[in-house]
Amino acid sequence: MKNFVFISPNFPETYWRFCRGLKDNGFNVLGIGDAPYYELSEPLKKSLTEYYKVNSLENYDEVFRAVAFFTFRYGKIDWLESNNEYWLERDAALRTEFNITTGFQSKDMPKVKYKSKMKEYYKKAGIKVAKHCNASTISVCKRLINKVGYPVIVKPDNGVGANATYKISSDEELKAFLKNKPDGVPYIVEEYIEGEVNSYDAIVNSKGQPIFETGNVTPDSLMDVVNNGDNSVFYIVNQPFEDVRAAGRKVLKAFGVKSRFVHFEFFRLTRDQRIGKKGDVVALEVNMRPSGGISPDMMNFANSTDVYKIWADMIAYDSTLKDCGEKYFCVFVGRRDGKEYRYCEQEIVEKYGANIKLLGRVAKALSDAMGDLMFIANFSDKGAMDAFVADVVAPAAQ
C-alpha cells in the first residue's frame, strides 16, 4: 500500500474530497495539520489513515518531525502534497529532504513561485509577457516607465493572488510606494495590461499530458476586488477557449509539469495595447495547484464530473475513466458584508433556486478575494448567467 502525506487536509474545507479519492484508490492517507482532531469533519476523519496535529504548520521542524514519524510507522512516503499555493515551497522542501520524487523539489521553486522567473518560461512557450523590472530604486523603475508609461502595477515577486498588489499612476505614488514598501520583500514593477483574466486549468499525468481540462474567466480586476472591497465574480466556462487551451498546453511543456493539478492565468486583451491587439492572449502567472477555494467544486458543476476523483486517479493510475457529462457555465458571485443590495438573499433564492448549487459564507482566509457571502449557480446559457450576476450584485436604490 502506498503512503500519501496530505498537508492541511482540512483547508480549504472541500479538500477532504481529495483524501477520500486517495483512500478509495487504496492509499494510506496521512494528514498533517494544526487543527485539533475533533474539529475535523467526519468525512475527512473517515478518509485519513492517521492524523498528526502540529502546533503550527508554519513551524518547519514540527512538520518535518510529523513526516519522519509517518516514515517510521508506515515506511517510505510515496507522495506529499497540499494542493495549496501557500505551502508550495514547504511541500517541495519536505519532498527534497525525504527523497519523495513524485513532485516539485526545492530547486524547482524559483520558476513556479517568482513572477519574474515565470516570465522566462512563458517566453519559452511563445507567450507574450508584460515588461517588468525590480522595484529597487526610483531610477530603475523610471527606466521601465519611460518605455511603457503610467499606470504600472507593483506586486510581490513571490506572492499569492492579488495580495499586496497596487496600481501606480504617478511619480508621487511611485515614490510613496518605494518609501513605504515592506523591508525584505522583493517587489516587481510591471506594465499595466487591460484585460480579463482567462485561465487554463488541468490535471496532468506523469507524462505531462492533460487528462482533464477546463478554464475560468474573471471579468473584473482581482486587484480591485481585493483593494476596494468590490463584489467578486468569476465563472467556469462550459468549454475551454481554444486559444487559451493551446497556450496552456504550451506552458505545461515549457515548465515541464507532471503529475499535478494546475491553474495557469492569462490576460485576454480588452483593447489594443503595446503588448498586442484586442482579443490576444498574453501571460499573467502560473499556479501549480488547483484554482483556489471552491473552484474544484465549480469545475464539477460545470462539467458534471468529479475532479477530486480524476486527480486521485491520476495519482494512483496515471489516468482516469471518469467522464464529463453535460456542460454548463458555473458562476461564483461573492457579496460583501456591509453593502446594501437590491435583492435580499431569499429573493435571489426564490428567483434562481433551480440554478443555485451552493450558497453560504466564504472562509475568512479567502474573503478578501472572494467576498463574504457566496452564490454559486449553473446556467446552460451565458446570457442567463449574466442576468443572474446583475441581480445578485445590484445595489440597493439610493
2-31: per-residue pLDDT in tens?
999 999 999 999 999 999 999 999 999 999
Q: Is the peptide bond between 12 and the residue preceding it cis, with omega within 30 degrees of 0?
A: yes
Predicted confidence at residue 226, as pLDDT, reads: 77
Amino acid, single-letter form, for residue 143? R
Q: Which three cell numbers stand for residue 374?
A: 457566496
Predicted confidence at residue 182, as pLDDT, reads: 85
Handedness of CA 369, 375, 380, 383 (dihedral sign): negative
The whole-number average pLDDT for the span 304-315 is 98
Predicted confidence at residue 73, as pLDDT, reads: 98
148-186: per-residue pLDDT in tens?
999 999 999 987 655 678 899 999 999 999 999 888 889
Predicted confidence at residue 161, as pLDDT, reads: 59
197-207: per-residue pLDDT in tens?
999 999 999 99
Please state, in angstroms and rounded to a whole number, the distance separating the CA atoms of residues 48 and 34. Answer: 15
Predicted confidence at residue 224, as pLDDT, reads: 75
Q: What stretches of 232-357 show up as alpha helix (H) in DSSP?
A: 242-255, 295-303, 307-317, 345-352
Please state, in angstroms and rounded to a whole number, the distance separating the CA atoms of residues 301 and 218. Answer: 17
323-378: per-residue pLDDT in tens?
999 999 999 999 999 999 999 999 999 999 999 999 999 988 888 888 999 999 99
pTM of the model: 0.94
